[in-house]
């Protein structure tokens, strides 16, 4: 319900300072009871997205505008994320190879070190600007067939879905780094330091870990938002 | 319920590979119905924290170990966060002054540019290592009295709670940056680049924005975790 009202505010194009429709109007438009609507409005007030002014009504707060930029709690493919940000995305495949799982990859994917994997190194550019440098590792048997037969410029999430592995969640670790020296030199990336590094294990709907991703998001261009609660 | 089971796993010291107690045992220990427990277990499986093995039971997955490091969706004061990470925290007050709100501070705090604020610049060290450099801005009237009468080394969250402003949530933006050149030079911080910058508006339980914080977390030492869902 809270999300429905937030979506309605976005749909109506309300910006900070704008007044919200009345509780009754919202209840009618959303087909819910007035008390349900009121409860959701209180939640939005408590989060600071709305301000109630005694005797006047509810208004979108200054914070209301910050809300939706890039919620870090939402899993989405890099391709989808960059397109949502309005970039014309190009994917350069820097390397794709059959390899053996490192200790970190194995631990994350629930396999053994040395097990066969596909390791995919790509650079996503938006409007020809390097935005995300990513290394994705997938257990070899999840994507069968010779690796040269596959177009690796497309979404890995979609390729896995085509084999029945639908990613529904991920466990991510967010840190700030300079790109490792060897990779920075090899791929001419060091001038774009620093990067927001998201190290992520992506989980399919049956609970199987299917991708271990280390995604370097260019710090000057990409940020995430999050609502935190005590 | 999901969180109760996660807490029980942590309490029992179960690590990746360990088997969980049976549904009935969990239901008895938690005082809930077996069907409620089963539902929560399925959620944990779907998140990839547990693996079910046909005919054997449920086990903590390799991901189970990653779970709790530093959830970015939890609001907590820097002091609390660093103490939870096991650091002996020291707070150096680099500067505290009465000033006028900048445009960014005003927008975030719902006041006007030029309105009186207190701006507090601090460096939190753990075991004498610089970990978090923070600039916190508070509307002047929220913390009355001469600023020299207050000990600014303590938690700002607690000081505000003492005046009836209990922070319950924040809207945060996470990015990767080098410390701005002027501040880096003034406070000898540039050698610690890069930083995970959390720009955050903290909201009290009545919906009032009470702190605008720019917290630089040292990239080499501090990371956040998050569970993302599609």
Chain B residues whose CB is inside 8 A of the A195 CB are 176, 194
Domain ranges of chain A: 2-60, 69-223
Contacts of residue B222 in chain A, CB cutoff 8 Å? 175
Determine the residue among B65, B67, B222, B228 to mutate to test chain A binding: the one whose Cβ has the most chain A Cβ atoms within 10 Å.
B228
Q: What is the pLDDT of residues B30-60, one digit of tens each?
A: 888 998 899 888 888 876 778 888 888 888 8
- In A124-180, which residue ranges form alpha helices assigned H by DSSP? 156-161
pLDDT beyond 90 at A224? no
Name the CATH topology of B2-60.
Answer: Arc Repressor Mutant, subunit A (1.10.10)
**Mind listing the pLDDT tens digit for each residue in B98-153?**
999 998 899 889 899 999 999 999 999 887 789 999 999 999 999 999 999 999 98
In chain B, which among 50-69 make CB contacts under 8 A with chain A?
A: 50-52, 61-63, 66-67, 69
Which residue on chain B is closest to A195 by alpha carbon? B176
Instruction: Pick A169's closest partner by Cβ from B194, B195, B230.
Output: B230
Q: Mean pLDDT lowest for which of A43-57, A160-174, B34-48, B64-78?
A: B64-78
Q: Closest to B75 (Cβ–Cβ): which among A195, A197, A230?
A: A230
Tens of pLDDT along A155-184? 899 999 999 999 988 888 899 999 999 999
Query: Poorest-confidence range of A21-25, A112-116, B98-102?
Result: A21-25
Domain A69-223 belongs to what topology?
Chorismate lyase (3.40.1410)
CB pairs under 8 A between A and B: 206
CB spacing of B225 vs A61 below 8 angstroms: no
CB contact set of B88 (below 8 Å; sequence gap of 6+): B126, B127
Residue A166, Cβ density class (10 Å: 0-12 exposed, 13-18 middle, ≥19 buried): middle
Contact A190, B194 (CB under 8 A): no
* Cα torsion through B179, A124, A69, A80, rounded to 10: -160
Rg (chain A; Cα; Å): 22
What ipTM describes this predicted complex?
0.72
The number of beta carbons lying within 10 Å of the beta carbon of residue B116 is 12
DSSP, collapsed to helix, strand or coil, labels residue A35 as: helix
Give me A202's structure tokens. 């992506």
Greatest extent of chain B over all pairs of C-alpha atoms, in Å: 69
- A121 falls in which pLDDT band (50, 70, 90)? very high
Q: Is B183 on the interface with A (CB under 8 A)?
A: no
* B74, containing H or E segment: none
What six digits make up the tokens of A58?
Answer: 């509810």
- Residue B112 to residue B107: CA distance in whole angstroms: 7
What residues of chain A lie within 8 A of the CB of B203, using their CB? 46-48, 63
């Amino acid at each position: 319900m809270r999300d429905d009202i937030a979506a309605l505010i976005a749909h109506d194009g309300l910006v900070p300072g704008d007044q919200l429709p009345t509780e009754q109007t919202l209840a009618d438009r959303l087909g819910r009871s007035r008390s349900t609507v009121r409860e959701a409005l209180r939640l939005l007030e408590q989060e600071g997205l709305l301000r109630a002014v005694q005797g006047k009504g509810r208004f979108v707060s200054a914070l209301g505008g910050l809300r939706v930029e890039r919620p870090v709690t939402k899993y989405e493919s890099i391709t989808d994320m960059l397109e949502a940000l309005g970039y014309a995305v190009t994917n350069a495949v820097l390397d794709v190879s059959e390899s053996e799982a490192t200790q970190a990859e194995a631990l994350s994917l629930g396999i053994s070190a040395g097990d066969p994997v596909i390791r995919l190194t790509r650079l996503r550019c938006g409007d020809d600007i390097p935005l995300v440098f990513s290394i994705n590792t997938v257990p070899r048997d999840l994507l069968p067939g010779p690796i040269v037969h596959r177009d690796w410029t497309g979404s890995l999430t979609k390729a896995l879905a085509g084999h029945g592995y639908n990613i529904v969640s991920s466990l991510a670790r967010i840190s700030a780094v300079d790109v490792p020296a060897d990779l920075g030199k090899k791929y001419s990336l060091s001038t774009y330091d620093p990067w927001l590094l998201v190290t992520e294990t992506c989980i399919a709907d049956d609970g199987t870990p299917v991708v271990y991703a280390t995604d370097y998001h260019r710090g000057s261009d990409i940020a995430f938002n999050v609502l935190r609660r005590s």
